Amino acid sequence: MQKIVPNLWFDTEAEEAASFYTSVFKDSAIQNVSHYGEDMPMPAGTVLTVDFTIMGQRFTALNGGPQFPFTEAVSLLIECEDQEEVDDYWEKLTSDGGQEVQCGWLKDKYGLSWQVIPTELNTLVTDPDPERAGRAMAAMMKQVKIDIAEIRKAADGA
């Protein structure tokens, strides 16, 4: 049983967002949808929460109103095996109104921040050789979407 479940606050797009996220990631599904009842802050029948999983990770999406929009203070990190996986998630999450940011960060069309990072990046920027690690970090800082081949070249001094 997962003891910590991220709860994502949306204005009114919880069900739409959960459907989008479960379409982006394999092995993902919506488990439950609850609705506001009478005498609640939203009209009766409006979606209240959506429980869903992304690759085994449980989430809840809540339609709570516009008071608390997403900020970059919290992001979801996707560890990618290779450049192809980085490119695939980047394209899907920035589609239809998403926004590229910097250094592997993006915002999806709902304003939720994601980091789309190849696992090799951590190895390169933490290399025991401080000059190699510094070149990798400097190359990464100039990028929007991570291009691991370019960072590898920079680390190698090419």
Summarize the confidence of residues 133-143 as an average pLDDT. 98
Look at the chain and count its residues. Answer: 158
CA 78 to the chain's CA centroid: 6
Residue 43 has pLDDT above 90, yes or no: no
Q: How many CB atoms lie within 10 A of CB 148?
A: 21
Q: Identify the CA nearest to 111 among candidates 66, 142, 78, 147.
A: 66
Residue 152 has pLDDT above 90, yes or no: yes
Report the predicted TM-score, pTM, of the whole model to 2 decimal places. 0.93
Summarize the confidence of residues 73-81 as an average pLDDT. 97
Q: Identify the CA nearest to 147 among candidates 105, 117, 109.
A: 117
Dihedral sign for Cα 90, 21, 73, 67, please. positive
- 44 — pLDDT class (breaks 50, 70, 90): confident
How does DSSP classify residue 81? Answer: S
Identify the pLDDT of residue 41: 80
Identify the pLDDT of residue 28: 98
3-state DSSP call for residue 119? helix
**pLDDT (tens digit per residue) in 78-105:** 999 999 999 999 999 999 999 999 999 9
Cross-strand pairs, 54: 28, 57
Identify the pLDDT of residue 27: 96
In order of their start, the domains of the chain are 1-66 (3.10.180.10), 70-158 (3.10.180.10)
Kindly report the CA angle at 25 between 79 and 17, in degrees rounded to 5? 115
Identify the pLDDT of residue 42: 83
Dihedral sign for Cα 137, 138, 140, 144, please. positive
- 52 — pLDDT class (breaks 50, 70, 90): very high
Residue 3 has pLDDT above 90, yes or no: yes
Q: Are 153 and 114 in contact (CB under 8 A)?
A: no
Mean pLDDT of the chain: 96
